[in-house]
Structure 1
Amino acid sequence: MTAHLKMAELHCHIEGAASPALALQMARKYNVDVSGIIRDGTYVWEDFSRFLTCYDAVAELFRTEEDYALLAETYLTELADAGTIYSEIIVSPDHGNTIGIGSDAYIAGLAAGIEAARAKTGIEGRMIITIIRHLGPSAAEHTALYAARRTHPLVTGFNLAGDERLFSVADFARAFDIPRDSGLGLTIHAGEMAGAFSVRDALDHVRPSRISHGVRAIEDDDLVRRIADEGVVLETCPGSNVSLQVFPDFTAHPLRALHAAGCRVTLNSDDPPFFHTSLRQEYEIASQVMDFSDEQIDGMTRTAIEAAFIDEATRARLLASL
């Protein structure tokens, strides 16, 4: 059991962290029928495409700055209560524009929630702005320019998410140059729904310090060695990978093989209620199913804090707490 171990998370999409109970609360607030996406207190989807549809429908239930403050505060408080000391949430200013409150209000609401959770529990939180792959390179560059302005000090990173099967990583190289020049940390979704080639493309064209998922690098031994040699951190999400059938079960998941090869790996929940998981459950899976020792799991937490997009004083304080 890992209940005595502190945790840190680098990879969670904030709308994907909304529990069905909170989504139902928002649906009642706005009189929205959610019977097609929530049944018996569980999100309903069948494959990756329908998961994205379900995710978008849940995201549309949060419509005001206050709604987003509630979402962030609720999730980070839950994390802190479970023993988490640090969390990075993936956020999409484009969604703020879609729902009509604008990017600034969207970010401000999330920031208020992060700060409220920190005041209550001491948990540190930061935001990673993401561009949406299936919206295309032009929209991505527009969002990148917004991210580079760093309208809130809790915005510290930049990511690419969405349907990995559309466009190529090279199409978004310019979008990543913009936040890199502004000092934001870089991570990118690759090696989840697409194979090892997508991880190699990400390393070649974006040069991130972290890869979101990256687990299908295991299909290429040379690539695994490169990841280990370059010290690129993998934000692994085993529960998500198995739920989406990237791998059939946890025994087939490559986390142990990647760790044994010297790759710097971390544990994350991705979209926890959609995948019937939590950050604590991911730690339990690593311990009970994958047979990692407490020392090895604590090392993954240390890796997460070492790779976090935070100032050095905060990093030192968090590392000292381990």
Structure 2
Amino acid sequence: MTRDLDALPKAHLHLHFTGSMSVSSLHQLAELAQIGLHDSLVDAGGVLVPRDQRGWFRFQRLYEMARDVVRSEDAMRFIVAQAARDDAAEGSRRLELQVDPSSYAPHVGGLAAALEIVLDEARRASAETGVQVAIVVAASRVRHPLDARTIARLAARHAGENGVIAFGLSNNERSGVTADWEPAFRIARNAGLPGVPHGGELRGPRHLRQVVEHLRPARIGHGVRSAEDPALLDDLIAAGIALEVCPASNVHLGIYPEIGDVPLRRLVDAGATVALGADDPLLFRSRLTDQYRLARERLGFSDSELAELARGSIRASLAADADKARWLAEVDDWLNSPEMSTGGTPE
């Protein structure tokens, strides 16, 4: 007897633009772009790799293949709208969708045009679905740090309640020197944009400390490797830095062998603020509610603990305080609702 996880109010803070798609959406955009899809993009397994192989490079290759179908304004709008609808179906009240506009700029007239399309569609999708869709602009570690400064300046020009809400850094953590992205994050921070870089997934605690020192994040994308260094984890907690934990992708990318090895329980028990995220449903075949289901079924989280995870996601979001208060009350309502039997009836 358990409560419906799709009905649990929550915020979704770790979702990538192209990776937010479903396989059926990918097919639709491939037809629009008149591009054939490689079998590896549409098989049932997603990025499932043998444990003796590194998962990241296969993932990145597949992601780039998927991104190649996004070649028009209509395609970009379709992705934002569908991400909002999918989140609405899973009880999400707030979606902070991450996008690197440079990936799509060549097809729509430049960086500014790409970002403006996404922002405009986010406003429209918010009105349609009731999910607050906010946009995080991210630079890429596999590009030059000077490119990141250009993207940070663009994000800064669009900063605000109905514009860009944060600045991130994604892609392969093993690439580059973290300090080289410090100027880009300073540009964003001076415009009032919190930093939400990836860190602590592919590389361990030592590298995560560099991310914290140089990029001064408000949240960390992933951050699960902080569990290996209790002193670092304590520092993150003391600094109020939330962790965007994506259990399914951690396993698919070979960070941990099994879901049971993901240190979600250790992070929560230490007092970390954790927001569960889907990362890239297209490639991992796992959406937001699935992460809560994994926490329940594989990691032993009770409904009261799942509710606290949902509260953590809401508190770690960059939404207005009044909205957070309303959603937190809705989480309480969910927890106070009757449990459901396996037949779907209240007990």
Question: What TM-score do the two structures reach when normalised by structure 1?
Answer: 0.94
Number of the residue aligned with 2:252: 243
Please say which structure displays the higher CA radius of gyration. Answer: 2
Q: Which ranges in structure 2 are unaligned for 5 or more consecutive residues?
A: 50-54, 332-347
Aligned residues of 2:141 and 2:169 also touching (Cα < 8 A): yes
Say if 2:84 is the partner of 1:81. no
Number of the residue aligned with 2:171: 162
Number of the residue aligned with 2:146: 138
Q: Find the partner of 1:221 among 212, 224, 230.
A: 230
C-alpha distance in structure 2 between counterparts of 1:39 and 1:119, whole Å: 31
What displacement does 1:65 show?
Answer: 1.8
C-alpha distance in structure 1 between counterparts of 2:47 and 2:325, whole Å: 41
- The alignment partner of 2:93 has SS state of strand
Say if 2:65 is the partner of 1:62. no
Q: Deviations over 1:243-279 (max 9, x none)?
A: 1110011111111001111111111000012112110
- The alignment partner of 2:201 has SS state of coil
Structure 1 range deviating more: 56-65 or 156-165: 56-65
C-alpha distance in structure 1 between counterparts of 2:268 and 2:248, whole Å: 17
C-alpha distance in structure 2 between counterparts of 1:316 and 1:54, whole Å: 39
Structure 1 range deviating more: 287-296 or 173-182: 287-296
C-alpha distance in structure 1 between counterparts of 2:300 and 2:291, whole Å: 12
Q: Which ranges in structure 1 are unaligned for 5 or more consecutive residues?
A: none
After superposition, residues 1-322 of structure 1 pair within 5 angstroms as: 1=2, 2-40=5-43, 43=46, 46=49, 47-150=55-158, 153-322=162-331
C-alpha distance in structure 1 between counterparts of 2:22 and 2:97, whole Å: 15
C-alpha distance in structure 2 between counterparts of 1:115 and 1:283, whole Å: 27
- The alignment partner of 1:266 has SS state of strand
Structure 1 range deviating more: 289-298 or 72-81: 289-298
What displacement does 1:222 show?
Answer: 1.2
C-alpha distance in structure 2 between counterparts of 1:106 and 1:201, whole Å: 31
Number of the residue aligned with 2:335: none
C-alpha distance in structure 1 between counterparts of 2:64 and 2:131, whole Å: 27
Aligned-partner residue type, residue 99 of structure 1: H
Q: Deviations over 1:205-239 (max 9, x none)?
A: 11111110000111212111212222210000001
Aligned residues of 2:16 and 2:98 also touching (Cα < 8 A): yes
Structure 1 range deviating more: 138-147 or 117-126: 117-126
- The alignment partner of 2:203 has SS state of coil
Aligned-partner residue type, residue 278 of structure 1: R
Closer, same or farther: CA 91–101 of 1 in aligned 2, 3 Å? same
What displacement does 1:161 show?
Answer: 0.3
Aligned-partner residue type, residue 8 of structure 2: L
Number of the residue aligned with 2:52: none
C-alpha distance in structure 2 between counterparts of 1:40 and 1:215, whole Å: 28
- The alignment partner of 2:202 has SS state of coil
C-alpha distance in structure 1 between counterparts of 2:56 and 2:39, whole Å: 16
C-alpha distance in structure 1 between counterparts of 2:44 and 2:254, whole Å: 22
Question: What TM-score do the two structures reach when normalised by structure 2?
Answer: 0.87
C-alpha distance in structure 1 between counterparts of 2:158 and 2:125, whole Å: 21
Identity %: 31
Aligned residues of 1:131 and 1:160 also touching (Cα < 8 A): yes
Q: Deviations over 1:59-116 (max 9, x none)?
A: 1211222211111111110110121111110011111324343223322332343333
- The alignment partner of 1:135 has SS state of coil
C-alpha distance in structure 2 between counterparts of 1:285 and 1:309, whole Å: 25
Closer, same or farther: CA 265–8 of 1 in aligned 2, 3 Å? same
Aligned residues of 1:214 and 1:234 also touching (Cα < 8 A): yes
